[in-house]
Amino acid sequence: MAGGVVLKDVVKAFGDVTVIPELSLEVAEGEFVVLVGPSGCGKSTTLRMIAGLEKVTEGSISIAGRDVTWERPKQRDIAMVFQSYALYPHMNVGENMSFALRLARVPKAEVAERVQRAAEMLELTPYLNRKPKDLSGGQRQRVAMGRAVVRDAYCFLFDEPLSNLDAKLRASMRTELALLHKRLGRTMIYVTHDQIEAMTMADRIVIMKDGLIQQVGTPKEVYNDPVNTFVATFIGSPSMTLLDGEFVEEAGRLSVKGAGYTLPLTERLAERAKTANGRAISVGLRPEHFAGSALDDGFAPLDLKVKVSEYIGSSQFLAAEIGGADITAAVDVGPEADLLSDGTYYFDTRRIYLFDRETGRAI
């Protein structure tokens, strides 16, 4: 059996409600995998089954090559940070962090060193002697993280550990976690509903919906080659726009056409389009592939009716309409430009996505 963490044909039902119909996943030893998906899709349940806090209804789980399906959490050599963490209220921060190590009779000097290192990384050094009740929510969450970090487990499991932190701290913790992973080289499975967190930290991302894995891939793969409209609109911010469309051939050139727009297809896309003959399609346009002018002859014009433009510095986000449908564009016109309004914008036709409108599958 391979190392890492392997879930095989796992099913989870609570009573007669099945929340994970079937899930198989192989996380390689040392890999950083992020489970991402909307609320209620089964991320925490999956993590809790790996941890042994929730029994599988069917299937098996192995960790480090050992079948742990019926082992208790303690036997699995994992450290976990929960979505809803509970600190020991009567212990100060340092004691909370060192509790598991003291229980395991790790030598005092080593406990002190590991706690100090974790506290520095989590910016908790000034609070080591405080009780949890005297900390902010974000600080408490970092203590919960510290308790896991001081342990030297085979596998680390994180369930939305950054959700209580402000934006700046969240960004710096992302970097710290990536560094921690590099330094420890341990297998890490991380749950979030934040696709930016997933994209920035993961070796591979697992995108889930309704208890089913939609796609597993590197950040590059899921962004560039989403398997369906769910993944396509979930990954990327602001979200990809989907427009109804059809294929039309004019003067030997294949285009996609819909209300208010016609976009020529590149040879690569025209090749793919042949596999979809006759079917209704959705055309996917990412906001970031718009431009204020045609940067080269790969760009095609689109007339947008701009409802709202948002100034965010160097670019502007446009909430617009095309042929009566909503569309989002991000246009980089520099920080000095006035707010953009109705007009002709340009789209990079090499970045068009095509989907089967019935099934949502990528063409």
**Sheet order of strands, 5-14 included:** 17-27, 5-14, 58-63, 66-67
Candidate list 44, 62, 214, 241; residue touching Mg ion; CB under 5 A: 44
Q: How far apart are CA 306 and CA 130, in angstroms?
A: 53
Q: How far apart are CA 185 and CA 178, in angstroms?
A: 10
Q: Which of these segments, 33-41, 140-148, 291-299, 335-343, binds ligand ATP (CB under 6 A)?
A: 33-41
Nearer to ligand ATP, 199 or 207 (CB): 207
Other Cβ atoms within 10 Å of 170 Cβ, number: 17
Q: Which does 193 bind (CB under 5 to 8 A by kind): Mg ion, ligand ATP, none?
A: ligand ATP
Q: How far apart are CA 237 and CA 240, in angstroms?
A: 8
Nearer to ligand ATP, 42 or 132 (CB): 42
CB of 38 to ligand ATP, least distance (A): 7
One-letter amino acid at 178 equals: A
The 6-25 site mask, x for binding ligand ATP (CB under 6 A), equals: --------x--x-x------
Q: How far apart are CA 223 and CA 119, in angstroms?
A: 35
Q: Which of these segments, 43-51, 264-272, 304-312, 341-349, binds Mg ion (CB under 5 A)?
A: 43-51
Q: Which does 70 bind (CB under 5 to 8 A by kind): ligand ATP, Mg ion, none?
A: none
Q: How far apart are CA 22 and CA 40, in angstroms?
A: 16
Nearer to Mg ion, 39 or 277 (CB): 39
Nearer to ligand ATP, 30 or 73 (CB): 73
Candidate list 4, 5, 7, 44; residue touching ligand ATP; CB under 6 A: 44
Other Cβ atoms within 10 Å of 141 Cβ, number: 25
- 214 scored as a contact of ligand ATP (CB under 6 A): no
Nearer to Mg ion, 198 or 273 (CB): 198
User: Helix, strand or coil for residue 17?
Assistant: strand
The 245-274 site mask, x for binding ligand ATP (CB under 6 A), equals: ------------------------------
CB of 110 to Mg ion, least distance (A): 34
Candidate list 6, 33, 45, 355; residue touching ligand ATP; CB under 6 A: 45
CB of 201 to ligand ATP, least distance (A): 17
User: Helix, strand or coil for residue 11?
Assistant: strand
Q: Give contact residues for Mg ion (rule: CB under 5 A).
A: 44
Residues lying near ligand ATP in the complex (CB under 6 A) are found at 14, 17, 19, 37, 39-45, 83, 193
